[in-house]
Amino acid sequence: MSNFDFQQAGKQVLDIERAGLDQLYQYINQDFVQACEMMFNCQGKVVVMGMGKSGHIGCKMAASFASTGTPSFFVHPAEASHGDLGMITANDIIIAISYSGESSEIMALIPVIKRLQIPLICMTGNPNSSMGKAANVHLCVHIPQEACPLGLAPTTSTTATLVMGDALAVALLKAKGFTADDFALSHPGGALGRKLLLRVSDIMHTGDEIPHVTQDASLREALVEITRKNLGLTVICNDDMLIQGIFTDGDLRRIFDQGIETSHAKMSDLMTKGGIRVSPNMLAVEALNLMQSRHITTLMVAEGDKLEGVIHMHDMLRAGVV
């Protein structure tokens, strides 16, 4: 065992599976086009079936279809024979996977599938198999050999089937004009979803959480408000929440550096007029990019001059935008 060359064994698997994928190229043919057109025009869902390792690949295929704009789910063939076939309607399409094309569990379902007139796409390694002959469209995934030296464990064949499924999913994605925004809608919990869906209004501070004082407020009052709200600034606005300026921790350092007399100064004398603001409807990731480009940690959120909220870099971190 100590002399066994694990690297060579691993590389041999890659070589064999790569050769299998090269073989797959020829099967992206008119049958592939017909399968894509059937799926593109499907008014229901794409139902994927497979037993054993083919079932595991089928689950991934259904998940890939569903996340890229082709509604899909997986049904276990054995369970389908005991009631789950009722999940499938005449508007759906079935993709059945079996490398041998002789899966008894799937073959038992074909008479019912035919009676219900549900279109059937079969993905096998043998066009002349029982499933191949029963299919409305057959997608061949024949490979020269399995990477398993015994020729028993599905290896190259499952890789080829997986890649054929990816080819279908991506071809349909492109044909449908599926966008990153569409992708985000089915991935709200992922990083991409947060970046493309989360808006400033979803995470900004509002109401009593907004630090604000009037122009007549003293420096002490402004500092108390900054400390109490803990956002590193206070907005200067009137009673109608119309923005007149902003005062930040940086402005406080500037005052001390310049030796400005503050004992009787009002915020109208110390504030920075205007201030950078964003719309509540702006994507949070766009607001983050603005913060980074301006080297600031907080933004006012406003509709015109009307203050709606405040958003801090820490809010981005908590929401997972960063």
According to the model, what pLDDT value does residue 191 have?
A: 62
CB count in 10 Å sphere of residue 303: 11
The domain covering 197-319 belongs, at the CATH homologous superfamily level, to CBS-domain (3.10.580.10)
Whether this model's pTM surpasses 0.75: no
How does pLDDT run along the chain (322 residues), one tens digit per residue?
Answer: 578 899 999 999 999 999 999 999 999 999 999 999 999 999 999 999 999 999 999 999 999 999 898 999 999 999 999 989 999 999 999 999 999 999 999 999 999 999 999 999 999 999 999 999 999 999 999 999 999 988 888 999 999 999 999 999 999 999 999 877 767 666 666 666 666 778 999 999 999 999 999 999 998 899 999 999 999 999 999 999 999 999 998 888 888 777 777 778 889 988 989 889 999 999 888 999 999 999 999 999 999 999 999 999 999 888 887 7
Q: For residues 161 and 96, is the Cβ–Cβ distance under 8 A?
A: no
Look at residue 193 in the predicted model and tell me its pLDDT: 66
Query: Would you state the pLDDT for residue 151?
Result: 82
Answer for the pair 50, 94: CB distance below 8 angstroms, yes or no.
no
Q: How many other CB atoms are found less than 10 A from the CB of residue 193?
A: 16
CATH class for the region spanning 6-178: alpha beta
120-124 β-sheet, strand order: 72-74, 46-50, 93-97, 120-124, 137-140
pLDDT of residue 125: 96
Q: Domain locations in the chain?
A: 6-178, 197-319
- Identical topology for domains 6-178 and 197-319: no
